[in-house]
Amino acid sequence: MKFGIVGMGNIGKRHAEHIIQHPEAELVAYCDLKESSEVFLRETSFYQSLEEMFAHEKLDILNICTPNYLHCEHTIKSLQAGCHVVCEKPMSLSTKESESMIKVAEQCKRTIFVVKQNRYNEPVQQVKKLLSNQSLGKILFVQVNCFWNRNEAYYLESNWRGKKLLDGGCLFTQFSHFVDILYYLFGKVEVNAGCVKNFQHPYTEIEDTGSFVMHTENDALVNFNFSTCAFEKNMEGAITILAEKGTVKIGGQYLNTIEYQNIQDISLPPIQIQAKSNDYGKYQGSMSNHDKVIDNVIKTLQGKDVIMTNAEEGKDVVAIIEAMYTSVQSM
């Protein structure tokens, strides 16, 4: 399948590497403001605009790896050019934008794949099975902790980061994966109240720390805490579940371990995934499962698999984040 990429920054290069490595994929072209110096892109055509790329190339799939505020615009242009779309997180910066993307996809009879690679984490899959089998019984309480580091150098690296209208805030840029895993495991959640602060990032227009109280459709209480103020490095990305028949914590820095468990009649394997985060030198992102994302896209379009994260689910996650920010504004 012929792939193209728009946005050849850190995450775009990660997509490119996995497309090139896949035996059933070909990276035909990429679009960015300037040509990349990466050796593995030397045989890939370079364009400075989507219009120019679509005029010269016939692509099956276009991967959107541009800044958050461009996801909607670039997705719609790609769909109208006849491409299926792989859209990086967040799907968009508003539910209204997500709805417009879905409407165009339906009109063009094309599919939007939303990148939520943490769903593939083995600890997440193990707990998903527990919940699907109702092995934990009634869920009582869920705690999400995301304590990462983002310093001034990170924000200076790109002029859109930390800008409210372009970035959207930490829940869109850093922690949308954790909102997604909460949604993936427990379905839609209602937001009761929240508070955000900017303690150490005065050079941004967004918060750096927040805490929210929410509840699931089955009335489990949810506490969601996040911060980009962890000293020097990422410290924790974890979800703890207290339930009628057990307690389990998906922990580590990136939901990459089963940190502890005590479950009636069941014992999950002691998963300890090492060195699997997206490492960008100056900072680290979430788990590096983009190879699985690309494989799922190809197999879904071939009719051999089902989509891992569809556009409706991407929209639901955006809606939860919107509700979280709205709860802060109304306090």
Each residue's pLDDT tens digit, 154-185: 999 999 999 999 999 999 999 999 999 999 99
pLDDT given for residue 63 in this prediction = 98
Chain Cα centroid distance, residue 5: 17
Residues ≥6 apart with Cβ < 8 Å to 96 = none
Please give the biggest Cα pair distance in the chain.
60
DSSP letter (8 states) at residue 39: G
**Mean pLDDT, range 193-204, rounded to an integer:** 97
pLDDT, mean over the chain: 94
Alpha helices in the chain (DSSP H): 10-21, 50-56, 71-80, 95-108, 122-132, 152-157, 164-167, 170-173, 176-186, 290-301, 311-329
- Give residue 270's pLDDT: 77
Q: What is the pLDDT of residue 86?
A: 98
Q: What is the pLDDT of residues 35-59, one digit of tens each?
A: 999 999 999 999 999 999 999 999 9
pLDDT for res 269:
84
The whole-number average pLDDT for the span 140-147 is 98
Domain covering 118-285, topology: Dihydrodipicolinate Reductase; domain 2 (3.30.360)
Distance, in Å, from the CA atom of 236 to the CA atom of 228, rounded to the nearest integer, reads 11
Handedness of CA 278, 39, 91, 211 (dihedral sign): positive
Q: What is the pLDDT of residues 68-103, one digit of tens each?
A: 999 999 999 999 999 999 999 999 999 999 999 999
Whole-number pLDDT of residue 288: 75
pLDDT band at 279 (very low <50, low <70, confident <90, very high): low
- Does residue 257 sit in helix, strand or coil? strand
Q: What are the sequence ranges of the domains in the chain? A: 2-114, 118-285
Q: What is the pLDDT of residue 287?
A: 59
Which CATH number does 2-114 carry?
A: 3.40.50.720
Question: 98-130, pLDDT tens digit by residue?
Answer: 999 999 999 999 999 999 999 999 999 999 999
pLDDT tops 50 at residue 234: yes
pLDDT class of 280 with cuts at 50, 70, 90: very low
Neighbours of 244 (CB within 10 A): 11
Side chain identity at 15, as an amino acid letter?
H
